[in-house]
Amino acid sequence: MKRLLSTLSCFALLAALPATASEIWVTNEHDDTISVIDIETLEVVRTIETGERPRGITFSKDYSVVYVCASDSDTVQVIDPETGEILHDLPSGEDPEQFVLHPDNRHLYIANEDDAITTVVDTVERKVIAQIDVGIEPEGMAVSPDGKIAITTSETTNMAHWIDTETHQLFANTLVDARPRHAEFAKEGSELWVSSEIGGTVTVFAVADQTPLAKISFEIKGVHQDNIQPVGFEFSADGKTAFVALGPSNHVAAVNTETYEVEDYILVGRRVWHMAFSPDHSMLFTTNGVSGDVTVIDVASRTPVKTIKVGRFPWGAAVRP
Amino acid sequence: MPLKTLVFWLGLVGACAGGPAASETAITITYVKQEVERPPVLSNLDAIPEDEGWRGAEIGLQDNATTSKFLGQTWSLQERIVPVGGDLLAAGRESAAQTRFLIIDAPREGLLALADLAELEDALLFNVAAEEPDLRDEACRANVLHTATSLTMRSDALMQFLALRRWSDLAMITGPHASDMAFAEALRGSARKFGLKIKGEKEWRFDANMRRAASAEVPLFTQELPDHEVLLAADEIGDFARYLPYNTWDPVLLAGSEGLRPLGWSHVMEQWGAVQLQNRFEDHAGRNMRPKDYAAWAAVRALGEAVTRTASDDPNVLRAYMLSEEFELAAFKGRPLSFRSWNGQLRQPIPVVHPGAVVAVAPLEGFLHPTSELDTLGLDAPQSRCTAFSE
């Protein structure tokens, strides 16, 4: 609670300082660039070149560097957010797709899509400290808030793999519906949410015993069930709502995290993929892979307010306050 | 917007968490291949790989094995090749003594003979090669599931695309082989189904060396056809159609066995994570993934998915699960694949491709169906005369 308060006061501080414009960083998978969107003007203000096929993107906890999975360059690039300069590459294993930064701000857990491996990298020593065998085509990555559990989901094996971050051993493997894409811990680490793209569902697990608590399905009038494909999702600041990107259905669902019921569907661009909130969580930015743009959603009213053209195949999104 | 929400509480199946199917299950699959003599073709530019199909099964097995190591299951795959003129039924009987799960890479007659063996009556056979529509219709067998596309699924996919583009005036050139004529028949049926007109047809009957003579012969040969926008080539053995493009009298588009092709799989598929499968395959086989490779991969993966979800190795349990609405296979085609419960055909999108890119993936927008748009491709339940699946 204390941390939440300090976070909130931090937001309040930022709100009072409009001069330091916040940004949304979007990786463009087929352009080998990052589009930087200014949250004040809602326009692309910078385009930064990266390695080949940039996908996962995340900032260090202090926002001093940004990490980018350059999948086809087989590396994680470390970029100075001020200058856009590539500072150095990290060893990442082959074809890094998605990753998550441990709460210790030092260890990256990376899904190596082509190798069925999760790689743990020490960003300070710049070396691989562990490689863990997981299922085919690992993608979704999450770390529990206490840092004790890392999750990898594997798209073809259809599992969430539970990794003990102390021992780097798997301690559980839980089946989910077909083609899991994304994982997040919720409710202070007591729940794990996993989206299944082809299964069309989100499975919620109790972290304590890895049992499934609920399975969320979606239904949009006029859209064939097969085209409702959950991929990325994020939780609102109060944790009460999950926003779930539904791929080629071109909608984002707003899900009540207490009842697991869908409350709204929000129309966005084509093949919506991942998303990031503005620092105050009042705006949500979705990457739309096929239409090559970003939809800005007003979170309070749950309506799309603007479309911003970015590069080809926007994939990941991250906020820089 | 009316909000309808489906929430499934999973308390009842909570027991499966943390590693379902902890039992020790060992599954062996036998890949039975009947070698066939191929008629000679004019050009040897695109040889058909000897290991077509088998390599797909191998990749599928690797996928299954990776999954099953978390579940205490083991998988193995063995190959049994029957040379031309060899005893296919003996191979079938020997395989039956070792496994209940077979992949059959054989022509129609061989597949049916194996399916009717008493020793394989309660086995599960996956057809990865034979595309004849009657195998999904009156000649269906209860112990055969088809992961290969049917000719009519492919011809329907092409005609949906031509209909969508409103290219409705067609002509067709057909080769003399049984496979050419069967594909031509499928194209005729699909043209009727989607309201397109094949205004004229000619049979290919040249014995000249087309590598030298195409530019002289083909313009005159095609000049006699009625006006058309798209020229269909039914040349499934890959003999003459490669000499049609740019040699036609009129500047028309080519489709069918050449130019724009409806295929179960193509190496130009990139979307929906297909690149990952293509990369795995190319690393493993050192060549592009072909439709039969995909069919074999899908057969192994379908079985893998059924074993994972049911924790069973009983062919009856697995067959029932695969034919149920519960079953879904993520297979890099953008939507879940499932089996048609009335004839055992794997429902699947069909890419319509040219050599450099995917042009469209059928079913296409606007072709509607009361239950699954995928059933706008190929034989649908109301037309099916297959009775083996209704018990």
CA distance A52 to chain B (A): 15
**pLDDT of B35 strictly over 80:** yes
Note whether A264 contacts B: Cβ–Cβ < 8 A: yes
Confidence of residue B13 (pLDDT cuts 50, 70, 90): very low
Interface of A with B in 2-31 (CB under 8 A): none
Note whether A263 contacts B: Cβ–Cβ < 8 A: yes
Q: Which of A118, A153, A156, A220 to mutate to test the interface with B (most CBs of B within 10 A)?
A: A156
pLDDT at A10: 47
Chain B residues with CB under 8 Å of A263 CB are 3
Chain B residues with CB under 8 Å of A260 CB are 7
Chain A residues with CB under 8 Å of B17 CB are 172, 174, 205, 209-212
When CB atoms are compared, the residue of B6, B280, B305 closest to A219 is B6
Q: Are residues A199 and B18, on separate chains, in Cβ contact within 8 Å?
A: no
Note whether A256 contacts B: Cβ–Cβ < 8 A: no
Q: At B326, which amino acid appears?
A: E
Mean pLDDT of B23-44: 88
Higher pLDDT, B391 or B82: B82
**pLDDT of B14 strictly over 80:** no
Q: Are residues A262 and B16, on separate chains, in Cβ contact within 8 Å?
A: no
Q: Are residues B335 and A172, on separate chains, in Cβ contact within 8 Å?
A: no
pLDDT at A224: 86
Mean pLDDT of B86-93: 97
Note whether A221 contacts B: Cβ–Cβ < 8 A: yes
pLDDT at B159: 98
Percentage of chain B surpassing pLDDT 70?
93
| Nearest chain A residue to B7, by CA | A216
Q: Are residues B330 and A179, on separate chains, in Cβ contact within 8 Å?
A: yes
Confidence of residue A239 (pLDDT cuts 50, 70, 90): very high
Q: What is the 3-state secondary structure (H, E, C) of chain B?
A: CCCCCEEEECHHHHHHCCCCCCCCEEEEEEEEEECCCCCCCCCCCCCCCCCCCHHHHHHHHHHHHHHHCCCCEEEEEEEEEECCCCCHHHHHHHHHCCCCEEEEECCHHHHHHHHCCHHHCCCEEEECCCCCHHHHCCCCCCCEEECCCCHHHHHHHHHHHHHHCCCCEEEEEECCCHHHHHHHHHHHHHHHHCCCEEEEEEECCCCCCHHHHHHHHHHHHHHCCCCCCEEEEECCCCCCHHHCCCCCCCCCEEEECCCEEECCCCCCCCCCCHHHHHHHHHHHHCCCCCHHHHHHHHHHHHHHHHHHHHCCCCHHHHHHHHHCCCCCECCCCCCCEEECCCCCEEECCEEEEECCEEEEEECCCCCCCCCCHHHHCCCCHHHCCCCCCCC
Structure tokens at A288: 């739309």
Residue B148 CA: distances (Å) to CA of B178, B210, B295: 18, 32, 5
pLDDT at B214: 81
Confidence of residue B5 (pLDDT cuts 50, 70, 90): very low
CA distance A205 to chain B (A): 9
pLDDT at B200: 97
What mean pLDDT value characterizes chain B?
91
Percentage of chain B surpassing pLDDT 90?
81
Q: Are residues B308 and A175, on separate chains, in Cβ contact within 8 Å?
A: yes
**pLDDT of A12 strictly over 50:** no
Note whether A114 contacts B: Cβ–Cβ < 8 A: yes
Alpha-carbon distance of B102 to B29, in angstroms, equals 6
Mean pLDDT of A49-73: 95
How many A-B residue pairs are in contact by the CB < 8 A criterion? 118
Confidence of residue B390 (pLDDT cuts 50, 70, 90): confident
**pLDDT of A105 strictly over 80:** yes
Structure tokens at A134: 């997981």
**pLDDT of A20 strictly over 70:** no
pLDDT at A113: 87
Alpha-carbon distance of B380 to B371, in angstroms, equals 11
pLDDT at B72: 84
Q: Are residues A136 and B273, on separate chains, in Cβ contact within 8 Å?
A: no
Q: What is the ipTM score, two decimals?
A: 0.75
The class of domain B24-149+266-348 in CATH terms is alpha beta
Mean pLDDT of B144-172: 97
pLDDT at B4: 36
| Nearest chain A residue to B63, by CA | A136
Mean pLDDT of A165-180: 95
**pLDDT of B18 strictly over 80:** no
pLDDT at B23: 56
When CB atoms are compared, the residue of A114, A135, A221 closest to B2 is A221
Residue B115 CA: distances (Å) to CA of B81, B110, B122, B130, B319: 17, 9, 10, 13, 15
B24-149+266-348 and B152-262, same CATH topology: yes
Confidence of residue A162 (pLDDT cuts 50, 70, 90): very high
Confidence of residue B68 (pLDDT cuts 50, 70, 90): confident
Architecture of domain B152-262: 3-Layer(aba) Sandwich (3.40)
Residue B25 CA: distances (Å) to CA of A314, B299, B313, B314: 43, 18, 7, 10
pLDDT at A284: 98
**pLDDT of A90 strictly over 60:** yes
N- to C-terminal Cα separation, chain A: 21
Q: Are residues B336 and A178, on separate chains, in Cβ contact within 8 Å?
A: yes
Q: What is the CA radius of gyration of chain B?
A: 22
What mean pLDDT value characterizes chain A?
93
Mean pLDDT of A26-38: 97
Higher pLDDT, A114 or B98: B98
**pLDDT of B9 strictly over 50:** no
Each residue of B265-293: pLDDT tens digit? 999 999 888 999 999 999 999 999 999 99
Each residue of A217-227: pLDDT tens digit? 999 998 988 89
Q: Are residues A214 and B330, on separate chains, in Cβ contact within 8 Å?
A: no
Each residue of B322-372: pLDDT tens digit? 999 999 999 999 999 999 999 999 999 999 999 999 999 999 988 989 888
**pLDDT of A48 strictly over 60:** yes
Note whether A216 contacts B: Cβ–Cβ < 8 A: yes
Each residue of B289-308: pLDDT tens digit? 999 999 999 999 999 999 99
**pLDDT of A94 strictly over 50:** yes
Q: Are residues B18 and A172, on separate chains, in Cβ contact within 8 Å?
A: yes
Q: DSSP code of A22?
A: -
**pLDDT of A173 strictly over 50:** yes
Residue A212 CA: distances (Å) to CA of A245, B51, B285, B382: 21, 43, 39, 39
**pLDDT of A294 strictly over 60:** yes
Q: A177 φ, ψ to 5°?
A: -70, 175
pLDDT at B391: 65
pLDDT at B151: 98
Question: Domain-by-domain residue ranges, chain B?
Answer: 24-149+266-348, 152-262
Residues of B with CB under 8 A from a CB of A: 1-10, 13-14, 16-20, 62-63, 66-67, 70-71, 273, 276, 279-280, 301, 305, 308-309, 328-330, 334-336, 372-373
Chain A residues with CB under 8 Å of B5 CB are 217, 219, 261-262
Confidence of residue A42 (pLDDT cuts 50, 70, 90): very high
Q: Are residues A172 and B17, on separate chains, in Cβ contact within 8 Å?
A: yes
Mean pLDDT of B59-85: 93
Q: Are residues A178 and B5, on separate chains, in Cβ contact within 8 Å?
A: no
Q: Are residues B67 and A224, on separate chains, in Cβ contact within 8 Å?
A: no
Each residue of B114-136: pLDDT tens digit? 999 999 999 999 999 999 999 99
When CB atoms are compared, the residue of A114, A221, A227 closest to B279 is A114
